[in-house]
A and B are shown apart, each in its own frame.
Chain A
């Protein structure tokens, strides 16, 4: 180290970083202003080397016990990082309980991960699927062994983290970093928000219904999607557990614990993460267990298929385009053309660039 570095050595130590190699900040990272600000953990800034390493790991099937399954097996780019299945099949052959979630815009939206919100940071989350016996089935120590023995990986870890010693933390850091770069911001809706294109009349109508909370007393009609799916991100909210809701999928008899298994509160039973709707036309089937195969089925559920339970969200109970009657099914009671318009609007959330961007693709292809 030169004199300048030595003089500032105590500064580096104080900041808790003794790296000799300085990885570079990533280039070309952009995010639309209407997504708002985001936070990065200070221990894991976004670096070029960390992101690139994360991408290699994401697509590496050796991170499974069979050497056949990678993160990308259940998170496929052309399906906006889902797999088109209600339940995924991993190394054990036993279908997973929950459906693969779309990895998109992870810097925003709820700060808790998995459908039940049981992990509060992306780094920790990334190690679970690797070790889950019904997903990739590889204990992390074995993953480290495989990577350490590889001719290329130790050097890549050195460039990203300043040492050839591979640890679980560094695997997690790099996977999280790569996933954070998966930003979808060039859908028709995004281009409309930026004033680059117009939406059709039907698309605008659908957008209006999406954002409007119906009020029969004043003749205001809407699908009220915006009360749970934020207006620009279309995801759940990022404050506390505000982004976890019971949207009436099950009655009390069938209600799963969901968020209650994290908070221990009875009032959180049946609440699941409100996902982003970006690229929703590509990420069928829908809901935490993939029970709805089409957007039509989803909209019909909200329209007249909502099931009552003790923890049903008051908004689900209250939202209706007709004055509430006790003999009426719970739901929003939209017209056919209103339902169609909402679905047409949802299609504007498809981002062709996101699903084909080489920066997010398999580096081995």
Chain B
């Protein structure tokens, strides 16, 4: 279990019992008044499974193919709502770095019974302005992590890196590092008219939609977006189509 700590010189005997007792209690079952919910994300490119490194995919906006070396983003501020938009559950320290690397990603939640009848889920792709100024670790936010930009701008919240290949042309590197709090995008998925309890939700992340939708991001004219605020804002307009519901599983 991760913990940040300073080693303190507490008495040996007491210290040991605390460790053993904690080990016992943590092995106990979770309390009966919680429900387990799982949320799965699978990354696709043009409808095909994302395979990092070797696979090549059709350019969504023109000629040629591209590969993906790196695709990850921060999912943050996850909440479960009822149909009147009341927040039934708000995940603590809700900053998950989803690093897509050939496998689906599963988030596990243990929610209180009072939240079990949720029928909307809300989350963001992005980092809010408060978290962007914080250099301590909260959830997966890590100032020494791969998403850190610098201590004035905070974090990049979405990274896509790869290569663009065209016949008889040099390889063009694709580098999309999107940050800035104002580019955070919030999703609300309305899961009604399902009226039984939801156990799990599966979402697909269609990577090609990052480059089309509200704005076309052409690999030839815009192969790289980093600190340029205008460009970051431009591509962020496409975030809304990045995530789609795949399936919802309910109590039988």
Contact = CB atoms under 8 A, between A and B. Distances in A.
Contacts of A313: 69, 161
A282 interface: no
B150 interface: yes
B146 A242 contact: yes
B73 to A, nearest CB: 13
Contacts of A315: 161, 173, 175
B145 A212 contact: no
B162 A314 contact: yes
Interface in B1-37: 1-10, 12-13, 15-17, 19-21, 23-24
Contacts of B4: 33, 36-38
A266 B15 CA distance: 49
Contacts of B9: 24-25, 27
Contacts of B137: 36-37
Contacts of A235: 144
B228 interface: yes
A112 to B, nearest CB: 15
A38 B144 CA distance: 12
Contacts of B174: 314, 318
Interface stretch (A151-159, A195-203, A213-221, A353-361): A213-221
B54 interface: yes
Interface stretch (B84-92, B112-120, B196-204, B219-227): B219-227
A240 B173 contact: no
Interface residues of A, number: 53
Considering residues A26, A212, A215, A311, which has the most beta carbons from chain B within 10 angstroms of its beta carbon?
A215
B52 interface: yes
A271 B15 CA distance: 43
Contacts of A317: 163, 171, 173
B213 interface: no
Contact of B144 (A30, A36, A211, A215): A36
A35 B5 CA distance: 12
Contact of A46 (B7, B23, B161, B223): B7
B161 A314 contact: yes
B242 interface: no
Interface string A126-166: 00000000000000000000000000000000000000000
Interface of A: 8, 11-12, 14-15, 22, 24-27, 29-31, 33-39, 46, 108-109, 211-213, 215, 217-218, 220, 226, 230-233, 235, 237-240, 242, 265-268, 308, 311, 313-315, 317-318, 326
Interface of B: 1-10, 12-13, 15-17, 19-21, 23-24, 52-54, 69-70, 97, 99, 101, 135-137, 142-146, 148-151, 161-163, 170-171, 173-175, 177, 223-224, 226-228, 231
25 contacts: A14-B24, A15-B20, A22-B16, A25-B9, A25-B15, A29-B6, A29-B7, A30-B6, A33-B4, A36-B136, A36-B143, A37-B3, A39-B1, A212-B150, A213-B177, A213-B227, A218-B227, A230-B148, A231-B151, A232-B143, A238-B142, A238-B145, A315-B161, A318-B174, A318-B223
